[in-house]
Amino acid sequence: MNPNEREHFEELCASYVLDALEADEAAQLEQMLQQVGPDDVAFFQSMQEVALLLPLEAEPVAPPAVVRQRLLDEVRRRKQALSSSSSSMNALTAAVAWWQSLTLAWSAAMVFLIAGAGASYMAWNYTGRVDSLQKAVVDLRIREKMFTAEILRMTKANQKQRKLLAQNKSEIKAIRNELERKTKLAQLLATRNVELVRMQVGRSRKTRSYKGGYGKLLWNPKTNKALLQLANLPRLKDKSYQLWMIEAGRKLPYKAGVFAYEGDKANFFEAPVPAPKRRRRLQFAVSVEPKGGSPKPTPTGPIIMATKKIRISL
């Protein structure tokens, strides 16, 4: 309810309790009372209570003495003027009727006086309630602004804490990965028969964009455990690097892992290198494949780096 509607509603309530509304206005107020909130209904009920108490607040007022004296003089004059009892009776009856009419007029005047006093009281009471409500509204608006500012501050602080927490989680994850890599590297270096295989980027036209990159493979043929290091390679957006093991005398190479190189630094990966069947010459190579690896048993993209042929002892 906007301020204009509120003012109209309160005016209807004041007129309603004084029985000063037309039928259509009374029906309008009754319909509004079914739609407004409990606070507005309570306001209407309080005005009804005030209207009921108005007659009790007015003190009894006696007619002025001059009116009573005039009445008695009129009664004596008419009594003397009338000679017969019937005439006297008629005069007395007329005097009584005049007194009754005067009393009725005085009562009507009192009713109007009480109504005026009631209206003045209600206007005063209404003004006081409006002032109180306006102060309460101002106070609530100030509190609302304070709460809004506090909620905004807490929201920003919460976002900052979440961002810091996410950053800490990322750093913790990177530290764990580095620790895991170093642990695996230390375990692999602690075993016997570890082979260090180096790879360099080729010099063909297809490998120009990978110039300066290199790879290293730490591999234990007996335990079939290996760690692959890739460095100085470009980061691939929709493709992946894939490691291959080529065994002499075998038509198809072995798939030895697909890796998501992050660039900017050396990346280590645990390579699932298969165990060769016999003592043979082997060669490792890295190709560029669709994301997720080659869909075929052979490389589909360019081979960017490879090792020299090596002989292993099982």
Assess contact for 257 and 226: CB atoms under 8 A: no
- pLDDT band of 82, cuts 50, 70, 90: low
Torsion sign across C-alpha atoms 11, 17, 19, 23 = positive
3-state secondary structure of 20: coil
Mean pLDDT of the chain: 76
Architecture of domain 192-311: Sandwich (2.60)
Domain edges within the chain: 3-151, 192-311
Reported as a single tens digit per residue, the pLDDT across 39-54 is 888 887 877 777 676 6
Report pLDDT for 21.
76
pTM score, two decimals? 0.45
3-state secondary structure of 313: coil
Tell whether the model's pLDDT for residue 89 goes beyond 70: no
Compute the distance between CA of residue 188 and CA of residue 38 in angstroms, rounded to an integer: 78
